[in-house]
A and B are shown apart, each in its own frame.
Chain A
Amino acid sequence: MTNGWIDIKNTDMMLIMGGNPAENHPCGFKWAMEAKRNRNAKLISVDPRFTRTSATADLFVQIRAGTDIAFLGGLIRYAIENDRIAKEYLVNYTNAAFIVKEGFKLPEDGLYSGFNAATGKYDLSTWNYEGVGGQGGAAGATGHAPEPVPGKVGGSAPPPGLPAHVSYDLTLQHPRCVFQLLKQQYSRYTPETVERITGIPKDQYLKAVDLFTSVRKDGDMKKVATIIYAVGWTQHTFGTQIIRTAAMIQLLLGNVGRAGGGVNALRGHSNIQGATDMAGLYDSLPGYLKGPVPDDKDLATFLKRTTPTASKPTPWDSMNYYSNTPKFMVSLLKSFYGDAATKENGFAFDYLPKPGEDCSWTHIWDDMYNGKIKGMLAFGMNGVMIGPDTNKNINALKKADWLVVGEIYQDETSEFWRAPGISIEEQKNINTTVYRLPCAGFAEKDGSMTNSARWVTWKYAAVPPPGQARLDQDIVAEIFLRVRDLYRKEGGKFPDPILNLSWAYADAAHPPLSQVAMEINGKALADLKDDATGQVIKAGQQLPGFAWLKDDGTTMCGNWIYSGSWTEGGAQIQRRGTEDPSGMGVYPNWSWSWPANRRVLYNRASCNSAGKPWDLDRKQIWWNEAAGKWVGNDVPDFKPDSHPKDHMGPFIMNPEGVGRLFAPIGVLADGPFPEHYEPIESPIKNPLHPDQSNNPLVKKFNTPFDKFGSPEEYTIVCTTYRLTEQYHYWTKNNPVNVQLIPEPFVEIPVELADEKGIRGTDKIKVISARGTYIAKAFVTRRLKPMMIDGKKTYQIGLPIHQGFRGIDEDEGRNARTPANLLTPAVTDPNAHTPESKGFLVKVEKA
C-alpha cells in the first residue's frame, strides 16, 4: 500500500477492483465503512462476481475476468476527454511533459516498437526519453540503454540508461510528449470497445467512470480517490500492467501521496508484505535491491548496472534516492558475510548466487518435473495447493528424490502421494522420501509481521509449541549448522559462502528472532560521525536509520528499508502508542512503518508546487518557510530541506523524481504503457488486435500437463477466489470454519444452470484442459451472463479452500479436488505470477 489501512477512512471515493476486501480483509474493511459513514465516501466495486464487497458498494459493475486494463484504459480516456485530471500535479509531479524518443511506436497492432519475433523479446532502445539536443540515452551519464539480460525477464528497480537531461514541453502539446502519447494510446479504448472486451454495457461503464473521476470535477483538487486491489489484479499474464494502469490513473488525477488516496495492495497473509520485503522473488535482494545476474562479474559491475543516475528536465531537481544503492548493498553483504566481506574481495559479492534463468514458482515445478530439481524444502506454504496446475506439481513431486515439509497439519503437499486419483498400486511406486517436520503455529512463536500498510509489528508467543513441534528458525538453523559441518569436514566445490555466512547469534542452534530483527535494522561496525550535526554512533551500536548506511564496510544492515525499526532506543516495532494528534489515523507511535516510520508514501505530492496542502482539512506535511524545512503530521517522504522553488520531484525513488506515466527502458518488460491483452485462455480474440491477442512476452511450458483449451470446446470463463469463512488451505482443519462453509461449491449463473439442467446443491464437474474439479453447484443471480464481443458468455467462480486433507477430507471418503487442478501455469513476465483469474472451462453434471 502506498497509504495504509486506517488511511482509507480519509477518502472520498473508492474503486475496489481485483479484490474483495469485505470477504478477504474484513477487519481492514472497517475503514472503508468509516469513510462511507463519516465522509459519505462512494464505493465502486468492479468484479466478475457480485461479492460481499459489492453488497456494500454504491455502484457495482460485472466485468469479465482478465479485462481490467480495458476498463482502466477507458477510464484514462474518459478522464482526459472530460478534463477530470489534476493539471498542476500532472505537469510537475509526473513525466507527462517528458518527450519520448523518435521511433517509439504505440501498440496499435499489439506490439510496441522493437519486438523481435525470433527471440520473443523487445529491443528497448526506443523506449526512452529524448535527451536535450535530440539525443536519446547518449546524453546520459551512463550511456546507452542496457542490453536485455539473457533469460532475464523484467525487473523491479530502474536500470540506468536514461538521459541525464530530458527534453520536455510543459504545455503538454509536443506530439511525442508522454501526455500526448498517453492520450493517443487510450484513444482506442472507447466505451464501445470497452463494452466489447469487458462485457460491461456502455451506460453502466460511463456511470462508473463518471462517478470515479467526479473527484476532479471542475478542476477541484480537494477531493481524493483511492484504488484498492488484491490478487484479482496480480494473477494474470499482464498483472503488473493492470496495477500500473491504476498507478497512472492515480497520477493523472493527482491522488498519489495524499491521505485517502494512493494505490493500495491488500496482502493476503499477515506477513506476505514482510516476505516480499525480504526478497520474495528470486531476482531481488532484501529491500527491493536488484538481484545479481551472471554478467555481474564483480561488485563494481553490479553496482554500475543497478545504481541509477538522475534523469530530468535541466532546471528541475531530482533526489534519485537509489543513487544510494552501493551503501545499501555493501551493508547487506556485511550482514550476510560479516568479517569475510572485505573491501578487497568486493565484500564477498562473489558468494551471492547469480541466477541466469527464470527461477520463479512455475519454473521450479517445471524443473522438478523435468528432473532438474531433486528435492524441496517447503515451509510456511502448501505447495501442491497454492500454485497452478496441481496435477503437474503432484507429478513433479513424484519424480523428486526428497521433500521436506514444515507444517502444523497433515497438508496436501506432505501427502501429495495420496491425492485423489492415485491408486494404492501407484502409491507403492512413488519413491520420493517425504519428511514432515512439525512446526510451531502462529500463536506459538514470536517475531514480526509486516502488514499491507507496511507496519512492522512485533508479536509475542502465546503458548509454547506442543509436543515435538519446533520453531521454524530452529529447524533452519539446525539444517544450516549440519550442512556447514559437512562442508567443514568434506569441503566442496565452493564452501566459502556457507563457511563464511555470518551466524552471530547468542545461541547458534536457536537464533532468537529479536537478534535477527536487530541484524535487519543494522549496526555500526566502526565509530561513525555525522559531520553536519556532529552526532556520533559508536561501533556496535544499532543504527537510527538508513541515512547512516555506508558503502565502505563500516555499517551492516540486513534490509535497508527496515533500518530504524530496532534502534539504540529499542524495538520501534514493539511500540503500542495510541496517540493520533492529527486525527487522520496516522498513529505515529504504533509499531513502526517502513521506510523511516512514514505512513503515506510520496507525501510531498499532498502539497502543490508551492508546498501548500491541496486540502487544508487533510494536512499531511507542508513547507515551513520560517523553519526552512518540511514539517507535518507524517514523516516527510522527501529531502527535508528542499525548498519548493528548487522543484525537486516528489517521487524520489525514481531517477526522474516524478511519477511515471510512461515507464521507460523496460522497467516493465512488456511495454511502457499498459495494453489490453487477452488471458491465455479467452473466449474471444483481442478486439484491439486479433493477430496479437495475448501478451507477446508470455512463455508456455512443454510438459504433457501444460495444455490449453480452445474457446470452441471450453466456452465458460472461470475464476478462483477466497471466502471470508476460510483462510487459504488451513482453516479446513478448524471445526468452526468447517461448520460455516462445510463443502466446496461452484458459483454458476441461473441461466447456465437452467441450460444444463443443474439445480442448486447438485454435484457438478468443472473441466479445463488440465483437470476436473468436482463440487456442488451454487446457482446464483450474482453472476450474470455477459455479451462479450457479441457472444453470450457465462462466467463462473470457485473458492480454492478445500483439498484432500482436513477435518472432513481426512476421512478418505471425502477427498476434494484442489481448485488449482484447473488453472494454467502461465505467468506475468514481470512478477512471475500465474494466471489463476480468467481461464476457460466447461461444466457438466457429475
Chain B
Amino acid sequence: MSQAATELIRISGRAGVVPGAGLNREFQVCKLVDTTTCIGCKACEVACLEWNGYAFSETTFNNSYQTMPETAWNYWNLIKFNEHERADGSMMLLMRKDQCMHCEDPGCLAACPADAAIVQYANGIVDFQEANCIGCGYCMTGCPFNIPKFSPTARKVFKCTLCNDRVSVGLEPACIKACPTGCLHFGTKSEMKELAETRAEQLRENSGYRDAGVYDPAGVGGTHVIYVLHDATNPELYGGLPKDPHIPLSVRLWKGPLKWLGNVAMIGGIVGMALHYMRFGPKKEEPIPPNDKDGRRL
C-alpha cells in the first residue's frame, strides 16, 4: 500500500493519465464511515485539526451541535448534524463526518489548470500540492461535494489529504485513529466495501432500516470515502450529501471536448499580440518616479 501512496497516476494540468500508471485495485485505500454508529463526538474533528497543525479559530453557536456550517480551509473534517423527523413522527439525529471523498474520478483535479497542483496517487488519494496551487479556485467549481476551500491569507486552496503523510508510512488517517466507537474504518477499498455491505445488510434485517445501504457514488467513479447510511435512498438528509454527484458539465466540457476552444483562443491571442506588435511596435518603458525619503512614491 505504501508504494501506491507515492506513485502518481493523474496530474492536474496535463492531458490524460500519467504514462505507465494504472489504477491497481489491490492498493486502493478507503475510509468507511458508518453513520449508524457515529455518536457525533467530534474526536475526528479534533484529531484532524491537531494532526494537521491548525490553530483555534473563533466559531459561533448556530442553533446546532455542528461546529461550523461547512468545512473550512483550515478545518477539513466536520460532523454534519441533521434533525430528521420520520413519517411516523420518530426522531433521528443524523450525524455524518464530512470531508474530502477522494473520488476515483476527481472533479477538482479535472478542473485544475495549474501544473501538478492536484495529483491522484495510485492508492486513490487525491492530494493538493499547495506549492503549485495558483489559487484560481477552479477546483472548488469542479467538486460536487463542496470540499476545497480557499484561504484568503495563503491565497491557495486546501482540503483533506486523507492523511497521505500517515498513510504513506503505513498508518491510518488521524480521524480513524481517534474514533472511539469504531464507526470509522480504514483498509483497502474491497475490504471496506464488503464490511459496509455486511453492515448495511445487518441494518436492513435486524434494525428495521429497510433502506440502509452503502454510499459509493458511481457518478464520480466511486469514492475512497464511503458511507453506510440508514437511508441510502435519501443521502441529502445527511448534511446535503448529493444523491448522484457528477463532475459539473461545464468542467467536463471545458477540460474535455471543448479544450481545443481554449487552445484556439490562446493561439488567437498570440496571433493578435504579434499583429499588434507589428502594427504599433514595442511598448515604451515609462521612467519610474523617484521615492521620497520615507519610501513613498512622489
Contacts and interface: CB of A to CB of B under 8 A. Distances in A.
Interface of A: 22-23, 26-27, 29-30, 33-34, 36-37, 40, 50, 52-56, 58, 60, 723-725, 735-736, 738-743, 745, 760-761, 776-782
A30 B40 contact: no
Contacts of B181: 22, 26, 29-30, 33
Given A55-B94, A740-B42, A741-B65, 14 more contacts: A23-B41, A26-B43, A30-B180, A33-B37, A34-B182, A50-B91, A54-B93, A56-B36, A724-B41, A725-B41, A760-B63, A761-B63, A778-B64, A782-B91
B45 interface: yes
B49 A30 contact: no
Given A26-B181, A37-B199, A52 B56 contact: no
Contact of B56 (A27, A723, A735): A735
A745 B60 CA distance: 11
Nearest to A724: B41
Contact of A724 (B42, B62, B208): B42
A37 B40 contact: no
Contact of A781 (B37, B39, B83): B83
B194 interface: no
Nearest to A32: B181
Contacts of B180: 26-27, 29-30
A760 B181 CA distance: 30
B207 to A, nearest CB: 6
Contacts of A761: 61-63
A26 B67 CA distance: 18
30 contacts: A22-B41, A22-B181, A23-B41, A26-B39, A33-B182, A33-B183, A36-B37, A50-B91, A52-B39, A52-B40, A52-B65, A52-B95, A54-B93, A55-B92, A723-B65, A724-B39, A724-B41, A725-B41, A736-B56, A738-B56, A739-B56, A739-B59, A741-B65, A742-B60, A743-B60, A760-B63, A776-B61, A777-B63, A778-B61, A782-B83
B48 to A, nearest CB: 11
Instruction: Name the 4 nearest CB pairs between A and B, nearest first.
Output: A760-B63, A735-B56, A22-B39, A55-B93
Contacts of B63: 760-761, 777-779
Contacts of A40: 202, 206
A736 B182 contact: no
B42 A725 contact: yes
Given A37-B37, A740-B42, A52 B59 contact: no
A27 to B, nearest CB: 4
Interface in B37-58: 37, 39-43, 45-46, 49-50, 55-58
Contacts of B85: 781
A783 to B, nearest CB: 10
A723 B41 CA distance: 9
Nearest to B59: A742
Contacts of B62: 760-761
A781 B91 contact: yes
B91 A742 contact: no
B90 interface: yes
B179 to A, nearest CB: 9
A22 B67 CA distance: 18
B69 to A, nearest CB: 12
Contacts of B90: 60
Interface string B187-208: 0000000000001001000111
Nearest to B45: A740
A40 B67 CA distance: 32
B61 A742 contact: yes
A30 B93 CA distance: 18
B61 A60 contact: no
Given A30-B180, A33-B181, A742-B60, A736 B41 contact: no
Contacts, number: 106
B67 A739 contact: yes
A60 B93 CA distance: 12
Contact of A26 (B41, B50, B94, B206): B41
A379 B255 CA distance: 66
A736 B46 CA distance: 7
A782 B93 CA distance: 8
Nearest to B36: A56
B39 A740 contact: no
A30 B180 CA distance: 6
Interface of B: 36-37, 39-43, 45-46, 49-50, 55-65, 67, 83, 85, 90-95, 180-183, 199, 202, 206-208
Given A60-B90, A738-B56, A743 B61 contact: yes
Contacts of B59: 739-740, 742
A55 B199 CA distance: 17
Contacts of B65: 52, 723, 725, 741
Specify which of A725, A738, A760, A776 lies most central, judged by the most chain B CB atoms within 10 Å of its CB: A725
Contacts of A30: 180-182
Given A55-B40, A738-B56, A739-B56, A50 B67 contact: no
B32 to A, nearest CB: 13
B135 to A, nearest CB: 26
B66 to A, nearest CB: 10
Contacts of A26: 39, 41, 43, 180-181
A37 B206 CA distance: 10
A20 to B, nearest CB: 10
A591 to B, nearest CB: 19
B39 A55 contact: yes
Nearest to B198: A37
A43 B116 CA distance: 50
B40 A724 contact: yes
B29 to A, nearest CB: 22
Contacts of A736: 46, 49-50, 56
A377 to B, nearest CB: 34
Contacts of A777: 63
Contacts of A782: 83, 91, 93
Contacts of A738: 56
Nearest to A743: B61
Contacts of A739: 56-59, 67
A58 B207 contact: yes
A777 B63 CA distance: 7
A233 to B, nearest CB: 21
Nearest to A50: B91
Contacts of A34: 182
Contacts of B95: 52, 55
A37 B85 CA distance: 25
A434 to B, nearest CB: 30
B17 to A, nearest CB: 39
Q: Which of B83, B85, B180, B208 has the most CB of A within 10 A?
A: B180
B67 A54 contact: no
Contacts of A36: 37
A776 B61 CA distance: 8
Contacts of A22: 39-41, 181
A782 B46 CA distance: 26
A96 B93 CA distance: 42
A59 to B, nearest CB: 9
A36 B202 CA distance: 10
A23 B61 CA distance: 18
B39 A50 contact: no
A31 to B, nearest CB: 9
B79 to A, nearest CB: 10
A50 B93 contact: yes
Nearest to B93: A55
Nearest to A781: B83
A277 B207 CA distance: 40
A740 B46 contact: yes
B192 to A, nearest CB: 15
Greatest chain A CB density within 10 A among B42, B61, B83 is at B61
Contacts of B199: 37
Contacts of A742: 58-61
B285 to A, nearest CB: 52
Nearest to B206: A40
Nearest to B179: A30
